[in-house]
Amino acid sequence: MSTSSTAAVRADEVAWRHLTVPAPSPVPVRLHEPGAGSGTSTGTGGWLVWAHGGSWQYGSAADWHPVTHRLAALTGWNVVSVDYRLAPAHRHPAALEDVLAVLDRVGERAGAEARIAVGGDSAGATLAASAALALRDRGQRLDAQLLAYPPLNPSCATPSYRRDPAAFPRPAALRRAWRTWRGTGPATVVAPDGTPLHSTPLDAEDLSGLAPAVLAVGADDPVADDVLAYAERLAAAAVPTRLIHTPDTAHADLLDPHSRLLPRLADALRDLP
């Protein structure tokens, strides 16, 4: 991939629009297109399907607009922000099915030469990691997964959760979020085509063959220990893995206009071989 194909553009040169992806439950998305705001061709770096955070219960593509708009500007990639269905009205695997439906649509539209990645932050990163597993199991192509501080273990019991009792997210609240999202159904649901749809990638016995992963988490984030352990599991399964682990960085960092992690995630996407 040439440097010019992933060059950053000015934020005012990123156009955006609402679209709806056809699916059994149609999925609203917000598409950010680099270069379109200047009247030139749209981003040629690739296509990034993004799932926002919000404990699987809150948030929207509109709420996360500054994050996804900036990602498009920094990377030169088209960014498709998914308005997936939220719990408790829609429990697992509804949100994951929505992300997969958008990835299917992007795969149809992008063309054989374009790169495709899935990413997300917080609960959205958990969805992105589970989507990467489903695409591997279905034999569908995926060039990267960008995972910003995903909650991975519903027990929320590692030492990083106890370092600062006031840090967000607090373990009791996050455990409630897991229960709200998963309900009383199975943690892994089998799709009609036989694909396991995991609520957390930790439930997958085999991680080999997954798309290259970029994981980002701050040292002050309660989910840090689980993210670091998952990075080790990916590397042990021979998955190309890049870990961004920054000091003095808390959960929800991407929502900060001065985010430490977002520019580094953008660099990692642009640096894909």
Kindly list the catalytic residues. 122, 221, 251
Environment class of 114 (CB within 10 Å of its CB; exposed 0-12, middle 13-18, buried 19+): middle
Give bridge partners of residue 103 from the DSSP assignment: none
- Measure the CA–CA gap between 31 and 86, rounded to whole angstroms: 20
Give, in order, the Cα–Cα distances in Å from 195 to each of 129, 133, 139, 145, 177.
15, 9, 11, 19, 25
Q: And the tokens for 236?
A: 């042990």
Distance between CA atoms of 81 and 83, rounded to whole angstroms?
A: 7
Closest CA to 269 of 8, 67, 15, 13: 8
- Token pair of 179, please? 């229960």
